[in-house]
Amino acid sequence: MHRCALVLALLMLVAATASCQRNQEMIDRVAAGELQEAHASWWGFDAEDSTQALQAAIDSGVPKLIVEDMGSPWVVMPLQLRSNQEIVFEEGCVILAKRGEYRDSNATLVTASNVENVTLNGYGATFRMWREDYDNPDLYQHAEWRHCLSIRSSSNIQVLGLTLEDSGGDGIYLGTATQWVTNKDITIRDVVCESNYRQGISVITAENLLIENTIMRNTRGTPPQAGIDFEPNNPEERLVNVVMRNCLSENNNSYGYVLAISPLKATSEPISMRFENCRSVNDAGQGFCYAAGGSVETAVGGLAEFINCTVEGSGGAQHRPERHRPHRLPQRARH
């Protein structure tokens, strides 16, 4: 009898973990502006697909949203962030791409598009996708843009403490949603980009970007396969006041830190980039590599600095400014 009661209790616990009913009373209080903080589970939880519940929680506009560790992942289709919101992902929380979905080549797990004042606080939490599935031609059409987190034409964004892994593209992508509208005032701190398909991080355009205490490792799948790649697409994009500090690129299938800035021209905003105490460890390609191209008349101007940066066991030289250096672009390396 006691054994039956124990089994019944366990079954009830599993069922409670697998799903969570809406708390309409609390949702109504959020809508009325009575609460400044809410729990995502108030909008429900379903271990098979929580997209509708989690997106509704984000769309509520509550200033601070706590996404709990429910004991199993929040399985979701692509999510869209909203302005003026802090989202706290509890330690142990996993946001997991729904397996077998994300058929569109640009399907991204979480997107910040034309938003402002957003903080993703996720120490001990994970955004996870299904890299091996996306790389299987029997399952998916080849693509390199199924990112874990995409930040596009947005401002005042903080990404703190998260692990972003197994994407079909980049761990984090910084590009545009609106033509020529760059990302501004972006902070990425204490983040781990693990086992992504194309890059740990791609930066197409950014102004006032700080990447600090961040690890980018085990990237492999489709080129460039770097730890981080700064690669504008057009002369109108920019890399202004960019700082990387105390970062590690490790065991990526190509370069560690790439500055592929040849699309920028003399008419572009001059670059200003600083790398402090950054390391490349056991990357397959050069630890620090850049290709600027252009001539004295056509190349972008500006300054790229490398301060106390080191390479350990990576292929090629640490950095080769003389190879691709446009005559207008000063570079400094200090050790």
> What does each of the 335 residues of the chain score in pLDDT, given as a tens digit?
455 444 444 444 444 457 789 999 999 999 999 999 999 999 999 999 999 999 999 999 999 999 999 999 999 999 999 999 999 999 999 999 999 999 999 999 999 999 999 999 999 999 999 999 999 999 999 999 999 999 999 999 999 999 999 999 999 999 999 999 999 999 999 999 999 999 999 999 999 999 999 999 999 999 999 999 999 999 999 999 999 999 999 999 999 999 999 999 999 999 999 999 999 999 999 999 988 777 777 889 999 999 999 999 988 655 544 333 443 445 555 54
Q: Are residues 218 and 240 in the same domain?
A: no
Helix (H) or strand (E) holding 155: strand 155-160
Indicate the burial class of 282 (C-beta count within 10 angstroms; 0-12, 13-18, 19 or more).
middle
Q: Would residue 333 count as lying in a domain?
A: yes
Query: What residues pair up with 120 in beta bridges, in sequence order?
Result: 87, 159
SS3 272: strand
Containing structural domain, residue 280: 235-257+268-335
Q: Are residues 34 and 147 in the same domain?
A: yes
Q: Would residue 187 count as lying in a domain?
A: yes
Q: Would residue 317 count as lying in a domain?
A: yes
Q: Are residues 115 and 60 in the same domain?
A: yes
SS3 327: coil
